[in-house]
Amino acid sequence: MTEQVFPYANVVVGVLIFVIGFLLHWVGQVISVINWELAARIGIVDKNIIPEFKVYERGTAAADSVIGWIYGIAAIGLILDIQWAYKLAWFPGVIFVYHGLNFWFWVGEQNKIGHPTNSKGMRIGWSLINITVGILAILIAWVAM
């Protein structure tokens, strides 16, 4: 067994990466790429987004869709305590921290210029969840080195 930050950290972080990264991020972004209207109906993307912002959001969805499958592989590997998964955990770790900070500033800037989003109420929660899971993933990867 790999050295752990706390008991069963690999399982806890693996489950968090799977749920938040694979199911919510990756599956959500794939839905956004395939069917934007459906994504808006089910609350993945903002219904009233202005065209200038929609271009950015669609680009982000496409980029997340290309890399997000790694979340599922890293998560399963961590849950099974496979050594390579600890190295792979760096990817979701860093991307989650990036997403948390990006979401915080993206929503804040939209609100500041008078284009509030559907995400206004989720700003603190979603940012903190992403940053926290990201830091945990980075920590378990670091300790396993």
Rounded to an integer, the average pLDDT of 69-77 is 96
Domain ranges, ordered by start, for the chain: 9-144
Cβ pair 92, 135 in contact under 8 A: no
- Mean pLDDT for the chain? 90
CA 30 to chain centre: 13
pLDDT at 119: 64
Residue 2: band (very low, low, confident or very high) from pLDDT cuts 50, 70, 90:
low
Can you list the positions of beta strands (E) in 37-143? none
pLDDT at 43: 85
pLDDT at 120: 62
Task: For 79-117, write each residue's pLDDT tens digit.
Answer: 999 999 999 999 999 999 999 999 899 888 888 888 877
Q: How many CB atoms lie within 10 A of CB 6?
A: 11
DSSP 14-25: HHHIIIIIIIII
Q: How many CB atoms lie within 10 A of CB 122?
A: 14
